[in-house]
Amino acid sequence: MFGVPAKGSRLDYDFSDVFNSEVSIITSNAATEAETKTALRMMEKHRLNLNSIITHRFRLDEFNSAVKTAMKGDCEKIIITS
């Protein structure tokens, strides 16, 4: 799940690394509200084993490290939290 940032949110990051390394950042905005609610209920009831796919966790202030880890390609799912 990805929380949508507030309107006007900014991220101070040098994206030249992303472009030069041809890294893709793909947002996941194709879920409907009903699908999102169903997924949240499943997560709440522990019907999804999401821990098995999360390989790295970073705080928001570690965003640069998260991108570097993703660029190495030795991860499955990276979680960034505030």
Q: Per-residue confidence of the chain (82 residues) as pLDDT tens digits? A: 455 666 787 878 788 887 888 777 766 666 777 887 888 888 889 888 888 889 999 999 999 999 999 999 889 889 998 8
What values do phi and psi take at 75, rounded to 5? -145, 160
pLDDT of residue 1: 45
DSSP code of residue 27: -
Closest C-alpha among 11, 44, 36 to residue 25: 11
pLDDT of residue 66: 93
For the chain, which residues make up each domain, given as ranges? 49-82
